[in-house]
Amino acid sequence: MGAVRKTAVRREPEAATGFLGVSCSARGYEWRERLAPGAAKIATAISQQHDLPELLGRVLAARGVGLADVPVFLDPSIKALMPDPSSLVDMDKAAARIADAIEARAPVAIFGDYDVDGACSSALLSRFLAHHGTPSRIYIPDRIFEGYGPNVAALETLVRDGARLIVTVDCGTTSFDVLGKAKGLATDVVVIDHHQADERLPDVAALVNPNRQDDVSGQGHLCAAGVVFLVLVATSRELRRRGFYAKGVAEPSLLGDLDLAALATVADVVPLTGLNRAYVTRGLKVMRSRDNIGLRALVDAAGLTQPPTTYHLGYILGPRINAGGRIGDAGLGARLLTTTDEVEAQRIAGLLERLNKERKAVEQQMLEEAVAEADRMVSETPDLPLIVAGSETWHKGVVGLVASRLVERFGRPACIIAWEKEGGGGSLVGTGSLRSIAGVDIGGAVRAAVAAGHLVKGGGHAMAAGLTVARDKIDAVRAFLSAEVADSAKGARARSGLDIDGALSAAGVNDALINLIERAGPYGQGNPQPRFAFPAHRVRFAKIVGEKHVRCVLESGDGSRLEGVAFRAAGEALGDLLLNAAGMPLHVAGSLKRDSWGGREKIELTIEDAADPRVRS
């Protein structure tokens, strides 16, 4: 740790406007010190009381970690962070009903969503039932032809094929009418979900959702797979209480499936706080054992040769599982994660790899068109609270990805809509996906639009939502949603900037530093990766690589060098600044990570922003 202590983070003088004096960077941001002035004493106390380097104390304090919370934060265990599952409303009802099905060996149908969270949730429950000798079938609706959530035709088919219990995962909370009709199908329905809920709930045997308005468990940050894991803990406990495991069936090793909970948690971009930190930390360790045949095949197909990290879950593995639901067979991901056949796993993983490449091409074309449309909107209305764009030529399986890209580029919520003729003819109906920024509850706005009668259907959570809208309603929907988020979007954008954890030099970047930073992980939504500024580093080499990425070499005053890459920066102000630096010193900001390439391990800077020290604004 001694080497790390010597590279202690530098602070900016209070008189400077912006960290390092940067008030308007290449991306138009003011750089700010993440650690609030009042938290500096807490950072010092953390370092002293827990014998930690100053840098780590500052990173923890800047993320709101209290003095007493440090041990659990640095070592997030399932034992320390798991609540009593029964603290969730309807949990005991759900566990009892699933236990009934297991004891009776009654066929169970699992109705899941077509994204990573849905696939992992479905696989978790399916693997649990298989361990107990209970037959199950996973049904993932087709995104294009069936849309999100349960539908009557699918439920009727499942019952006709023998299902005696239907469990919906990552969907069902707002499916009032559909699940109401299921009451007459001679089967029970259990809903396990995490999306925002209205006061009105479907009439089902049990509905476990920590975001129910009457749920006070405090677990609303969980993704669906995280909730499913709690249901499995409760069900196993119920079976133990009934004496089921005394009859010759071994108790399941639930911790062995935490790789699925981790993948879903990261891919669904839920906050890495509380139990989610334990899911991801322990799940990554499970994944490194490569016991899940499907995940192992997916890792190999993607060409990963290093232990998986949250980056790999979110940007490498997650998109490949999602590719099936976006432009191919929606059930591929769930089948991959449940298969016990090596050959089948390799076949599905290869297919998902190909579909992911096709998805990238479709996304790029849509993104170019959407950016052009958004540029026009923002230039006409600079304070536009919400971007809404649509086209009859856009693929509705990719609208969410394009919406995310627009949020990154324009710093405001975005809604992307794919229009198509209803039933192959007649009036246009749009399938839209929305993404938001911190501080703007887009899911709440969509639910309000549904309640106001503007949408056919819609729902989601604070950062992401989906909707279905008739073409003749789009103007009203745009106006309604914009009004709903106007104040919060304005406030969020006023607070926007680039938070910096400290200033470093290329000479101070080494394995000891990375090991120190990793102690406060895993990083992601709600626990941001530490971002450091590298003052007055010269760009000695820069070029465009791959898909619009800019790779460069930064050099500090003492001649030490650090490799960096700015993703999707070519053609943008950031990329232009790096490519045209011609050896002049720049302030560069980004996050550090280990990278393996060609059998060589190195430390690389992911460049998020840069500024010319000579330019003051």
SS3 90: coil
Residue 534 and residue 487 share a domain: no
Measure Cα distances from 553 to 566, 598, 614 in Å: 11, 18, 20
- Does residue 413 sit in the same domain as residue 509? no
Give tens-digit pLDDT for 168-192.
999 999 999 899 888 888 899 999 9
Strands 136-139 and 498-500: unpaired
529 with 575, same domain: the answer is: yes
Does 50 share its domain with 193?
no
Is 541 or 231 the better-scoring residue by pLDDT? 231
Q: Are residues 276 and 290 located together in one domain of the fold?
A: yes
Answer yes or no: do 437 and 458 share one domain.
yes
364 within some domain: no
Interstrand relation of 31-33 and 498-500 (parallel, antiparallel or unpaired): parallel
Mean pLDDT of the 455-482 span: 93
Find out whether 406 and 386 touch, Cβ atoms under 8 Å. Answer: no
What is residue 5's predicted lDDT score, i.e. its pLDDT? 35
Domain-embedded: residue 617: no
Residue 424 has a pLDDT of 59
Look at residue 477 in the predicted model and tell me its pLDDT: 96
Q: Are 221 and 273 in contact (CB under 8 A)?
A: yes
- Please answer whether residues 474 and 430 qualify as being in contact, where contact means their C-beta atoms are separated by less than 8 angstroms: yes
Among residues 494, 523, 545, the one where a domain terminates is 494
The mean of the pLDDT values for the chain is 93
Q: Tell me the β-bridge partners of 554.
A: 539, 562
Looking at the structure, tell me whether residues 293 and 185 fall in a common domain: yes
pLDDT of residue 616: 62
Whether the per-residue pLDDT at 2 is higher than 70: the answer is: no
Burial class (CB within 10 angstroms; exposed 0-12, middle 13-18, buried 19+) of 237: middle
If one compares 8 and 26, the residue with the highest pLDDT of the two is: 26
CA distances 52 to 10, 37, 170, 516, 574, Å, are 17, 20, 40, 9, 35
Output the domain CATH number for residue 151.
3.90.1640.30
Residues 99 and 24 in one domain: no
pLDDT digits over 293-309, tens only?
999 999 999 999 889 99
pLDDT of residue 596: 67
- Separation CA 411–CA 386 (nearest Å): 10
Please state the rounded mean pLDDT for residues 521-547.
94
pLDDT in tens, 186-232: 899 999 999 999 899 999 999 999 999 999 999 999 999 999 999 99
pLDDT of 9 reads 44
Last residue of a domain, one of 460, 494, 528: 494
pLDDT(12) > 80: no
Q: CATH number of the domain that 573 lies in?
A: 2.40.50.460
pLDDT tens for each residue of 74-119: 999 999 999 999 999 999 999 999 999 999 999 999 999 999 999 9
- Per-residue pLDDT tens over the stretch 592-613: 998 766 667 789 999 999 999 9
Give me the percent of the chain exceeding a pLDDT of 70.
Answer: 96
369 within domain boundaries: no
3-state helix, strand, coil in the chain (%, to 5): 45, 20, 35
Compute the average pLDDT of residues 553-578: 95
Same domain as 335, residue 194: yes
Question: Is 217:87 a contact under the CB 8 Å cutoff?
Answer: yes
| Amino acid residing at 456 | V
Residue 356 has pLDDT above 90, yes or no: yes
**Which CATH number characterizes residue 472's domain?**
3.10.310.30
In a domain, 359, yes or no: no
Domain annotation covers residue 363: no
The parent domain of residue 539 ranges over 2-74+498-611
Number of domains in the chain: 3
Q: Let me know if residue 108 belongs to a domain.
A: yes
564 lies in some domain: yes
pLDDT tens readout for residues 133-160:
999 999 999 887 888 889 999 999 999 9
Task: Report which of residues 493 and 22 the model is more confident about.
Answer: 22
Residues 118-128 have a mean pLDDT of: 98
Task: Tell me the pTM.
Answer: 0.89
pLDDT of residue 425: 63
Tokens of 465: 């939502």
CA dist 538 and 557 (Å) reads: 8
pLDDT of 11 > 70? The answer is no
pLDDT at residue 38, as a whole number: 87
413 and 393 share a domain? yes
Instruction: Single out the residue in 447, 465, 494 at which a domain terminates.
Output: 494
Q: How far is CA 344 from CA 224, 254, 334, in A?
A: 26, 24, 13
| Residues 167 and 311 occupy one common structural domain | yes
Q: Do 290 and 253 have their domain in common?
A: yes
Residue 520: pLDDT band by 50, 70, 90 thresholds?
very high
| Residue 367, in any domain of the structure | no
| pLDDT 10s digits, 239-270 | 999 999 999 899 999 999 999 999 999 999 89
